[in-house]
Structure 1
Amino acid sequence: MKRIILLLAIFCSVLSAHAQLGGGGSTITGKISGTVVDSITKKPLDYATVSVFHTKGKAPMNGVLTDEKGSFKLNNLPPGKYKIVVSYIGYPSKTIDPVETTLSKPDNNMGTVILAPSAKTLAQVNVVGDKALIENKIDKIVYNAEKDLTATGGNATDVLRKVPLVAVDINGGVSVRGDANVKVLINGKPSGAMSNNLGDVLKSFPADQIKSIEVITSPSAKYDAEGTGGIINIVTKSKNISGVSGAISGGMGTRQNNGNASLNIKQNRLSVTGNFGGNYTWPQITPTSRYSYDDSLNVTNTQTSSNKIFRYAYTGSGELSYDFNNYNAIHSSIRFNQGGFKTDGSTDYRTITSTTDSKYSSTNNSKTVFGGFDWILDYTHKFKKEGHQIVFSGQWSHSQTDLNYGTKFSSVASNQDATNGGRNNEYTAQVDYTLPINDKVKYEAGGKTISRIISSASDVFVNSVYSPNRSNVYDYNQYVTAGYSVFTFTLPKAWSLQTGVRAENTKIDGNSANTTLGLIPFNNSYFTFVPSFAVSKTVKGTQTYKLSYSKRIQRPSLQFLNPFVNQSNPQSVSYGNPTLAPEVAQTVELNYSTFIGTSVINASVYYKHTKDLIENNTFSTATVTPGGTTYYTTATYNNIGKNNSVGVSFFGSVTPIKPLTFRTSINVYTYNGMAYPQYAYLQSSTDTKVQYNIFGNGTLTLPGGFNAETFAILNSPTRTIQGQNPSFGFIGFGLRKDIMKKKASIGINTLSPFKNAIDFDQEIRSKHLVQTSHTAFPFRSVGLTFSYNFGKVTIKQDNPMAPKKTGLNDDLKQGDQNGGGQGGGGGR
């Protein structure tokens, strides 16, 4: 409201000034321009108010707001002496007087105008930023989730589906520009839980905890080499204020219920924050049907199942930061998560051969519990030179997943019960050094070590009798040593250059306690050389061209390595492969971005070559026993082949009128996977396939504190060497009302209102095998949301001494994004 009154005052003053100036005199006019930045962070201040007065005047002649880069221009000023006043919430106004323009020099560029933050105390204040929903930065795309009207009451998966260049399938599998090998970080740090259970952990992460999501498609050599699809960094909310504040939010709906609470305490140099949230999903019934036929064995297997799924999760975090002085600071945080799901159902099986036609059924139950924690400790030492610092970081990540299942058959005497527990402990030590050599050159270097200690223990019972031939304990250890060096150059004529190199050495070893399973002990080591390069050019301050090259690898995580044989589905057996090598991808990208007024456009053309693709492989198996021959499919993982991909990505934002904004994100790319000779029999097609992800969104600000949003998502079928995963799409609507002077809000959201379930059709083909499956996932939902912010605070800027949240272990291939051939009946 103050801003509106100020603009009206400026408008009236302009009319008054125009009347006082009258006509005649010189017709030459000029401009006064500059950039407003924060005195501590040196970051630009957008939406700062810049007013121009006569040098001794009391009423403003004109005024403007700074753009997202802090820049302003005061146009059409006749030659003379002026007073410039710059104001911004939380800062004392700054006056520069006089600022002169002349007939010979009508334009005056003031350069950088520095504002220092104020310590003014505000009671019961809700600090609201003016950031756009999507920001396009030089090295990343930022989705400001706290501006998303439909985020409240949802989870991280719901938010990620709307982030440019990101696609999320029905199982929660995440990909960036079609590549599922994405590393997800939290506040720039890895999470052990997300390495092993990415889809499930994202569903347990409340959207109300998320401030923004950053997408980095071409990371520099400073980042760990892993993540061929790039990096997604989830930034959690942290009140940038002193005092005591907090928030409560949540939602209740027909699909899931969520709640979240946070508390922030900042006094002087000490900062303590805490957050806790959780969700519970109402039981959902998921029907599934599967068909497979192998012409070499002349065997047809069919099954139909119905499963009721119960799901819950909760997560929490705590942070503590303390500044000893202007040069030394410490930061520590711990984040934990716990969740699980339980499935109860029944399945009907049928197997047809040339001589037999057998039918039987089973009742199934399974329970999966996952959880863990990430403890981080950072120490930062700043030198006297601006930007010169060294950061020491340590992290301990612990994650575990426990699976218990039981299957009882109606006519086969091989009832099964099994438990499988996976444990992963990661220990990381890292140092990062930054040296601004001068105002044109910056040097960064660092090193790290990672020790991963992984164990998988399984116990299998057949007809309630312990089966030593199927039970096992498998230990897998991985040790990574890495170092990097990066130079960043600011060149004349708005050119920038960044070049770097990273070297990583990996040692692995694996050992099975059960020697009868054929898992031979092994050890291996490999060296990875990772260069990176990026050059950019800014034109007229609004257009940026960027050419980049990056090399990335993707190490397999526990889910791919775990050799436990899951036999809960007698027609489909699955297990991991501990001998997998990492994927290696090289990407070249040309990017163009611009903003025109309130419109933002970003477009990229890229080429990616990937070798040693890790994909799920399914093949037919026949086992002869004294009781007869059993036919089933076997699913595992292999480094199956290579792929060349060409793609085009685009996203844009336009505001035709102030209350209305439209956004769209489109990614079109090719898949041309070619199997290595030993896996050629698994290749379903050698044709180049075109795939796409499309997202559209519209938001409308209405009078009376109402805000409305609608969005639509459409993902094409995704190809693999052996088949394809289904297309996926839905629409959503949201309406929110701000109340209590914007300290609280209530709203209603709905997803897929016109269709109760989303069909999930998968197909696998090879030389002899055809396998299809159909699952109907319940998805339609309607829910009520609420949020409330409280506290007595003082506005402050980011603490410049706070340790930078640099990425640590962004390196493991996560989750089965393909889902082919997994047994167990029913979707998750």
Structure 2
Amino acid sequence: MKLINKYITYISILLLSPALAFAQAPAPTGKISGTTVTTAGKPVEFATISLLRAKDSSVVKGALADINGNYKLDRVANGTYIIKATVVGFDKGLSKPFSINASAQAVTIPAITMASSAKALKTVNVQSSRPLIERKLDRTVMNVENSVLAAGNNAMEILERAPGVTVDKDDNITLQGKSGVTVMINDKLTYLSAAQLATYLRSTDGSNIASIEVITNPSAKYDAAGNSGIINIKLKKNREVGSSGSLTVGAGYGNYGKDNQSLTLNHKQGRLNAFGTFSRNDNKNARLMSIVRVVDSVGKRTYFDQTTAMTQSNHNNSYRFGADYDLTSRHTIGFIVNGNWGRYNQNTPTVNRLGSAPGVFNSYVNSLADIRQTNKNFAANINDRIQLDTLGRALSFDLDYSKFVNTSDADYQTLTFLANGQQQIPPILLRNQTPSDIDIRTAKVDYTHPLSKSLKLELGAKFSNVKTDNELNAQIRNNTGNFVNDTTRTNHFVYQERIDAGYVNLGKTYTNTSVQVGLRAEYTSSVGDLITTGQVVPRHYLNFFPSVFINHKVSPKDQLGLSYSRRIDRPTYGNLNPFIFYLDQYTYQQGNAFLRPQYTNAFELNYTWNSTINVALGYSHTSDVITQIILTDPITKASFQTDLNLNVQDSYSVNFNSPFTITKWWTGNANINSFYLNNKSKDLLGANLNSGQLAYQAKISQNLTFIKGYRIELMSQYRSPLKTGIYDILSQYSTDAGVSHTFANKKATIKFSVSDVFNTRRNNINSMYQSVNLQIRQVNESRVSRLTFIYNFGNSKIKARQRQTGADDEKNRASGGN
């Protein structure tokens, strides 16, 4: 502990000492203030203020006027300037040239008068531009294009200002307090880790961003699977010629060392735009788990006290490259190839103490599991987009192929001893090989047709075909010392699934209200074939997924929204695999080939005040809830983890999100999410389940920039105790911290961070339901110190066109387990 504290202190001093020296250098002290008014002398609210150099009209800084039209600009260097004021509905306003010099360090600008720009053309009003924050039917949009906020900022810095979005010091992105957010760029899933995504966004010039879309309840246009929100970053079309890139190098240490490297390149020449990324990382981590459980078997109780010290090491390489070609100004074709390969090793020594009374052990079992896994994954996409006319009609096509290949070899050794140390039975030696292949083929088409200026029709279809082939070849060592086939564990499972989907969306815009209704249909045909036993599980079902979005502008800055959608979550391919994976003979995991999909009807009512503070009320009803559960075999006394379908879950939530500013150098975001999960299921382990508990989660992020070029970030979070299914999950809290320094004309950044500074993050679970009686205490390697260097080079204004492929949902299910 002392060594870690010294390490943190030394690194912090090394990073902060240049800042303290730099802070002593004289900084610009010029101050400018003024106000914006209408021709009638009333304040112009929230006008965008730009400070321009008088000689060339280049933008130096920007600010926003307050509700009374007042504005201020600090730290202005000596020179001659002009103030420009812009806001929706008014012509731009300009001040007369003025100077900041040694004798005039504080200047008050005469009121800038702004005339209304709305001009009557018969019955149509034409206005100048879109507002900064705009609430649409199914999403909130921050219009960045042509905004002063884009000047001098990168994509990550702009994203942090989007409504409801929080970015912590490790660059993890949450939406209204919920993790697992899908981040897209130009409607295309990124497939990047949090660190890789952060590198990409920090190397993207803000002047290339058109808008940022926040979608909390996706419409029928998107796959019906999943309930996570979407953040879609819309980039301007790339017209810059040249090359650019970004290099990231990082190292970390917790219980073990870690490192990561990433290189991103982009190049545009004429109609061709090419891009590529290669990343690699080595990550070794530790986990300590304790399980205390009681098993009733024929009126006799057995007490288990199990301790597992697990080490995992992961080496991964990933790549992504592609190109776009503009056949015409309205027709673009492209391809994307991405994949990864690597290896994963896990060493799991376990000590299991068995007794007839608490604390009294009659025997103990020493187990060692050594697992070695390799993976090779590949995906390719071909896409075509055609802008049919200038009215908005568009047609796009995507073809995708993905292949996941994983091979796992495992050796298990079990030794059983009496309390006096005498070996009770001969050692048990097992081994197995589990090759797994997943093939995914998809095709999709989307069509947009504006029927009028206020009415738009969207149509689309998607077809996917998935096949997973899983084998478990198991052996056991016999009395002669040779390994022979273990027929009780050897298995072969093949799962095939086809989904045919189509959707239609119709949107109508009125004066202050917008409405969108949609319907998605998905026909699923699947067959699970347990070849070893001849057991076949066929399923064929047709589902409809309606969605409705209503948005009403109460005032220019206050909006009210109501949405409804029906969603589906299909089991991951790994959860359907019925194979048994051992930790030891008393603890294992088993899939369930009979799992059914779960269906959710979700409602949300949200209110946005002053374009910043958001309050959302949510309710969802889920049937056939897929729930992870731990069961006990009374004969073998083994506990095993599997997934079952519970009857229903009702979820009630209130979410409050608000940015805050303490000073100009101290800002942050507060998010409070309160929820109640009620689970019901008939005849679960011989009783009717009806459990629920009111819980809440609070997150506060803070950014401090009181030293120029440096940023200090803090993220604190607390989650209260909660109940889900048959489990009581205890509270969890932690604090993360980091400091970053940008230099070399903002091309280079060095960052030092510590996750879980006080080492308090724990995963503790209790369960006492019917025959289940257990306590789980788990400590992961959560406190990790990281040092990262990022360097951006070349022309940062070029970026690749991004697209959403057709295999996104299927690949996400593949990542849930093989």
When the two structures are superposed, what TM-score results if normalisation uses the length of structure 2?
Answer: 0.76
From the superposition, tell whether residues 738 and 134 of structure 1 become closer, same or farther in structure 2 (CA, over 3 Å).
Answer: closer
Corresponding residue for residue 86 of structure 1:
none
User: Which deviates further from its counterpart, 393-402 or 553-562?
Assistant: 393-402
User: Which deviates further from its counterpart, 207-216 or 346-355?
Assistant: 207-216
User: Which deviates further from its counterpart, 407-416 or 213-222?
Assistant: 213-222
Corresponding residue for residue 500 of structure 2:
481
Q: Which SS does the other structure have where 2:633 is aligned?
A: strand
CA contact (8 A) 1:430 1:808 kept: no
Corresponding residue for residue 639 of structure 2:
633
What are the within-5 Å matches in structure 2 for residues 410-425 of structure 1? 410-411=415-416, 412=425, 413-425=427-439
Deviation at residue 129 of structure 1 after TM alignment: 5.3
Deviation at residue 720 of structure 1 after TM alignment: 2.5
Corresponding residue for residue 101 of structure 2:
none
Provide the C-alpha distance between the structure 2 equivalents of 1:208 and 1:313, rounded to a whole number of angstroms.
18
Deviation at residue 35 of structure 1 after TM alignment: 10
Corresponding residue for residue 224 of structure 2:
225
Q: Which SS does the other structure have where 2:708 is aligned?
A: helix
Corresponding residue for residue 87 of structure 1:
none
Provide the C-alpha distance between the structure 2 equivalents of 1:234 and 1:111, rounded to a whole number of angstroms.
25
What are the within-5 Å matches in structure 2 for residues 742-781 of structure 1? 742-755=746-759, 758-781=761-784
CA contact (8 A) 1:320 1:332 kept: yes
Deviation at residue 457 of structure 1 after TM alignment: 1.0
Corresponding residue for residue 179 of structure 1:
none
What are the within-5 Å matches in structure 2 for residues 652-801 of structure 1? 652-675=658-681, 677-679=682-684, 681=686, 686-755=690-759, 758-792=761-795, 795=797
From the superposition, tell whether residues 479 and 130 of structure 1 become closer, same or farther in structure 2 (CA, over 3 Å).
Answer: closer
Provide the C-alpha distance between the structure 2 equivalents of 1:725 and 1:187, rounded to a whole number of angstroms.
39
When the two structures are superposed, what TM-score results if normalisation uses the length of structure 1?
Answer: 0.75
From the superposition, tell whether residues 668 and 439 of structure 1 become closer, same or farther in structure 2 (CA, over 3 Å).
Answer: same
From the superposition, tell whether residues 133 and 49 of structure 1 become closer, same or farther in structure 2 (CA, over 3 Å).
Answer: closer
CA contact (8 A) 2:715 2:735 kept: yes
Corresponding residue for residue 629 of structure 2:
617
CA contact (8 A) 2:599 2:624 kept: yes
The amino acid across from 2:296 in the alignment is D
Q: Verify: 1:567 aligned to 2:568, yes or no.
A: no
The amino acid across from 2:568 in the alignment is I
Q: After superposition, what is the alpha-carbon deviation per residue over 1:211-256, rounded to whole angstroms, capped at 9, x for unaligned?
A: 6997633111111111145557799999884311111123222133
Corresponding residue for residue 328 of structure 2:
325
Provide the C-alpha distance between the structure 1 equivalents of 2:273 and 2:687, rounded to a whole number of angstroms.
56
CA contact (8 A) 1:32 1:73 kept: no
Q: Verify: 1:460 aligned to 2:462, yes or no.
A: no
Provide the C-alpha distance between the structure 1 equivalents of 2:237 and 2:711, rounded to a whole number of angstroms.
24
Q: After superposition, what is the alpha-carbon deviation per residue over 1:660-699, rounded to whole angstroms, capped at 9, x for unaligned?
A: 2120122111111001x2325376x634211222211111
Q: After superposition, what is the alpha-carbon deviation per residue over 1:262-284, rounded to whole angstroms, capped at 9, x for unaligned?
A: 11101222111111222222x44
The amino acid across from 2:217 in the alignment is S
Corresponding residue for residue 290 of structure 2:
289
The amino acid across from 1:608 in the alignment is S
Provide the C-alpha distance between the structure 1 equivalents of 2:470 and 2:544, rounded to a whole number of angstroms.
31
Corresponding residue for residue 804 of structure 2:
805
Of 644, 648, 663, which residue of structure 2 is paired with 1:642?
648
Q: Verify: 1:111 aligned to 2:124, yes or no.
A: no
Deviation at residue 527 of structure 1 after TM alignment: 0.8
User: Which deviates further from its counterpart, 230-239 or 582-591?
Assistant: 230-239
Of 433, 438, 451, which residue of structure 1 is paired with 2:447?
433
CA contact (8 A) 1:589 1:606 kept: yes
What are the within-5 Å matches in structure 2 for residues 341-490 of structure 1? 341-353=344-356, 357-411=362-416, 412=425, 413-463=427-477, 464-490=483-509
CA contact (8 A) 1:33 1:110 kept: no
From the superposition, tell whether residues 747 and 574 of structure 1 become closer, same or farther in structure 2 (CA, over 3 Å).
Answer: closer
From the superposition, tell whether residues 747 and 234 of structure 1 become closer, same or farther in structure 2 (CA, over 3 Å).
Answer: same
CA contact (8 A) 1:424 1:454 kept: yes
What are the within-5 Å matches in structure 2 for residues 69-468 of structure 1? 111-112=127-128, 128=154, 132-136=158-162, 150-151=169-170, 159-160=172-173, 162-167=174-179, 174=180, 188-189=187-188, 202=193, 207-209=198-200, 216-231=215-230, 241-255=240-254, 256-281=258-283, 283-295=284-296, 297=298, 298-353=301-356, 357-411=362-416, 412=425, 413-463=427-477, 464-468=483-487
From the superposition, tell whether residues 135 and 690 of structure 1 become closer, same or farther in structure 2 (CA, over 3 Å).
Answer: same
Give the aligned length: 699
Deviation at residue 544 of structure 1 after TM alignment: 1.5
CA contact (8 A) 1:674 1:686 kept: yes
CA contact (8 A) 2:291 2:306 kept: yes
Q: Verify: 1:534 aligned to 2:549, yes or no.
A: yes
From the superposition, tell whether residues 133 and 329 of structure 1 become closer, same or farther in structure 2 (CA, over 3 Å).
Answer: closer
From the superposition, tell whether residues 803 and 251 of structure 1 become closer, same or farther in structure 2 (CA, over 3 Å).
Answer: closer
Q: Which SS does the other structure have where 1:166 is aligned?
A: coil
The amino acid across from 1:723 in the alignment is Y
User: Which deviates further from its counterpart, 344-353 or 805-814?
Assistant: 805-814
From the superposition, tell whether residues 772 and 240 of structure 1 become closer, same or farther in structure 2 (CA, over 3 Å).
Answer: farther
From the superposition, tell whether residues 665 and 779 of structure 1 become closer, same or farther in structure 2 (CA, over 3 Å).
Answer: same
Q: Which SS does the other structure have where 2:686 is aligned?
A: helix
Deviation at residue 553 of structure 1 after TM alignment: 0.6
Q: After superposition, what is the alpha-carbon deviation per residue over 1:457-478, rounded to whole angstroms, capped at 9, x for unaligned?
A: 1111112222133212211000
CA contact (8 A) 2:618 2:652 kept: yes
Identity %: 24
Corresponding residue for residue 137 of structure 2:
none
Provide the C-alpha distance between the structure 1 equivalents of 2:585 and 2:716, rounded to a whole number of angstroms.
39
Deviation at residue 136 of structure 1 after TM alignment: 4.5
Corresponding residue for residue 64 of structure 1:
85
Provide the C-alpha distance between the structure 2 equivalents of 1:217 and 1:421, rounded to a whole number of angstroms.
38
Q: After superposition, what is the alpha-carbon deviation per residue over 1:118-167, rounded to whole angstroms, capped at 9, x for unaligned?
A: xxxxxxx9873595443556xxx555x6xx6x34xxxxxx614x553224
Q: Which SS does the other structure have where 1:439 is aligned?
A: coil
Q: Which SS does the other structure have where 1:208 is aligned?
A: helix
Q: Which SS does the other structure have where 2:172 is aligned?
A: helix
From the superposition, tell whether residues 27 and 807 of structure 1 become closer, same or farther in structure 2 (CA, over 3 Å).
Answer: closer
Provide the C-alpha distance between the structure 2 equivalents of 1:27 and 1:746, rounded to a whole number of angstroms.
49
> Bigger relative contact order, structure 1 or 2, given CA contacts below 8 A and separation 6+?
1
Provide the C-alpha distance between the structure 2 equivalents of 1:47 and 1:490, rounded to a whole number of angstroms.
36
Q: Which runs of 5+ in 1 are unaligned?
A: 19-25, 37-44, 52-58, 84-97, 115-124, 152-157, 168-173, 177-182, 195-200, 624-629, 820-828
Deviation at residue 658 of structure 1 after TM alignment: 2.3
CA contact (8 A) 2:526 2:539 kept: yes
CA contact (8 A) 1:206 1:260 kept: no
The amino acid across from 1:165 in the alignment is G
User: Which deviates further from its counterpart, 369-378 or 689-698?
Assistant: 369-378
The amino acid across from 1:278 in the alignment is R
From the superposition, tell whether residues 9 and 214 of structure 1 become closer, same or farther in structure 2 (CA, over 3 Å).
Answer: closer
